[in-house]
Chain A
């Protein structure tokens, strides 16, 4: 309708009314979007600009902004003696948690879906840890793992090991905490995906005589792809930004073996060097890496779906 009116090229009362109505509509629309836009601008846009400015400035925590220092911060960030170690450790941790969490949560989801009698109980018990904040969960496990106060203290003494005492022990103890905390959440996402697969597809497979394994490989997995994409992106991004669990459980130890990238940023800013400039530069590097990794993931899943 609007093209016809515009095509007429005349100012008709009809047109004036529609323009005014449309303008009013646009204003209302903007008003509706305004609170969100303001929030995004204030809580995301401005901090991002501030970090960009910090990353290019000489900015000690206690001294404030001391002027431009552009490439130096980035050079110092990459030259930091823990930079490569923390990148490597973060990637290792991300691969471990993503693989274990997704496989386990898919298994749990199928278990819950298949079982009929215990469905409610199972679903609830898997989901309960998700109700605990990550920091609280980490503190809980800090006590559980403690060789002094924990319930396993005697066991640890008898066997001569501690959960957080060796680099591998600390890594696996943290992975266990994360799996315990998040398995239920990812199970829920998987469950929604599973329930979205139409029953008649399975029925057709059964009629064709497909085995359980064939059904799982050729029907469940392909039709679950959007869910798998979502959970992978969530899990990878979350793990790359890991902080609380390591801050509380290991503080980067033992012997600096569990420093994640975000922890490196934190310690650069607040523990020791107190240099917000270099910390900002590290943050920008992490941000760019995240953008690239997420684009790659979304592309990979998107392309597969088209095949």
Chain B
């Protein structure tokens, strides 16, 4: 009897503790008891009254997010709590939070998912606030367009990530190529890769890519089409134009490179996590590569826009956009963060200082980019780049079993006979 009583007491204590924790969790779920603030009376600057804001981003942008949040917390009353989520779990986490009305005040989204998330109503309308910014016209157009639905703006660029052609200058010089100029078109790109492959150095390959990584391929192959003036999607994002002659030229170039053994062999199964590793280790001659990695590439590289079959150069303006979530009770304070994020202090003083691309074209030429002409190249190409907008982008291109991956693998690793049929499959998914 005594032992039963004791057990009951213990059970009661456990229950009480559980209830307490539940209560605490409920409290910390966004609303700290402060007054709800609206965006309408936030003004250009927003409200800086010492509120605590929550912010989510995905792991690949952790470095930039940390820098921005630290700089903001040091200079403002408001304090931002940053949560970094593994890349593969991010959509699931945001989805679960959206379903239970538990989104953080601010959250970033891969720019290619932004059109869908805006349409699902995850963000608050920022039109009046964004229109109040006097430098609005110089904010990156691709990101703004991705976050615009029916004339209303929901999202600002958080971090830009551009795809650029990078080449290892040492390897290029060794192969007798002009390391300062770089390849002028896709044909020369292939010649370069083969020339570096012909050096026959151990473990060194001409080029590399991620043939099992839909996101990597979108990021690095779409610009070749754009450089040729060929769109990859219809304007409304429901039709795939990836069976165009230009696109077929691009696949054929890569198939030729693959068949001739100038592509890093592990590219065949590369699903994303290590698709840039071999270049960073100096074992790959040249490849389309994320510009955010410029500062962490330890040797001398040349940088140019990604060329098309006939030359030119373009880039995929990727990265993440950020908006105020539908569940935020502190929208005016959250706007204060966004407004500061677009300011010169943040763009130049934080992002450019760390060799990142700025989201405002009027700040492209700044004290930090002047020290490195490659940054000016990147900033210039950014203005000519593009961001594709489609509601079903994730399913059509980024998902591990996307029809885009099927198409590229058939076209490069297979016999390239099913490009038109595979393209129809992409259109079928896009138009759902």
Contacts and interface: CB of A to CB of B under 8 A. Distances in A.
Interface of A: 60-64, 82, 147-148, 157, 162, 164-165, 251-256, 259, 267, 269-274
A274 B95 contact: yes
B265 A254 contact: no
Interface string B268-292: 1101001001100000000000000
B212 interface: yes
Interface string B385-415: 0000000001100111110001001000000
Given A61-B95, A253-B271, 16 more contacts: A62-B98, A62-B99, A62-B120, A63-B121, A64-B98, A148-B278, A157-B265, A165-B269, A251-B400, A259-B401, A267-B399, A271-B91, A272-B394, A272-B395, A274-B91, A274-B95
B317 to A, nearest CB: 22
Contacts of A254: 212, 268-269
Nearest to B413: A255
A87 to B, nearest CB: 15
A164 B271 CA distance: 12
24 contacts: A61-B91, A61-B92, A61-B98, A61-B99, A62-B94, A62-B99, A63-B121, A64-B99, A147-B266, A147-B269, A148-B266, A162-B268, A253-B212, A253-B269, A253-B400, A254-B212, A259-B401, A267-B400, A270-B92, A270-B95, A272-B399, A272-B401, A272-B402, A274-B395
A186 B85 CA distance: 37
Contacts of A269: 92
Contact of B400 (A64, A157, A271, A274): A271
A251 B212 CA distance: 10
A62 B117 contact: yes
B116 interface: yes
> 4 tightest A-B contacts by CB?
A272-B399, A272-B395, A61-B95, A62-B120
A62 B265 contact: no
B122 interface: yes
B95 A62 contact: yes
B277 A148 contact: yes
A284 B247 CA distance: 42
Interface in B212-236: 212
A164 B398 contact: no
Given A61-B99, A62-B98, A62-B116, A267 B269 contact: no
A271 B272 CA distance: 15
A164 B268 CA distance: 11
B117 A165 contact: no
Contact of A255 (B95, B98, B99, B406): B406
Given A82-B401, A147-B269, A256-B401, A270 B409 contact: no
A100 B92 CA distance: 35
Contacts of B122: 62
A291 to B, nearest CB: 27
B407 to A, nearest CB: 11
B212, B269, B398, B409 pick with most chain A CB within 10 angstroms = B269
Contacts of B266: 147-148, 162
Interface residues of B, number: 29
A147 B208 CA distance: 15
A117 B395 CA distance: 58
Interface in B90-116: 91-92, 94-95, 98-99, 116
A38 B398 CA distance: 41
A116 B199 CA distance: 61
Contacts of B394: 271-272, 274
A251 B399 contact: no
Nearest to A82: B401
B400 A252 contact: yes
Given A62-B117, A62-B120, A272-B394, A251 B99 contact: no
A8 B274 CA distance: 84
B246 to A, nearest CB: 25
Contacts of A272: 394-395, 398-399, 401-402
Contacts of A256: 401, 406
B120 A63 contact: yes
B216 to A, nearest CB: 14
Contacts of B120: 60, 62-63
Given A62-B116, A148-B277, A270 B91 contact: yes
A188 B275 CA distance: 43
A271 B399 CA distance: 6
A254 B149 CA distance: 37
Contacts of B400: 251-253, 267, 271
B94, B401, B409 pick with most chain A CB within 10 angstroms = B401
B274 A148 contact: yes
Nearest to B89: A270
A248 to B, nearest CB: 10
A238 B96 CA distance: 26
A107 B41 CA distance: 75
Contacts of B274: 148
A69 B284 CA distance: 52
Nearest to B100: A64
A68 B120 CA distance: 18
Nearest to A271: B399
Nearest to A85: B401
Contacts of B91: 61, 270-271, 274
A271 B21 CA distance: 32
B95 A252 contact: no
A267 B401 contact: yes
A255 B268 CA distance: 11
A147 B399 contact: no
Nearest to A270: B92
Contacts of B406: 255-256
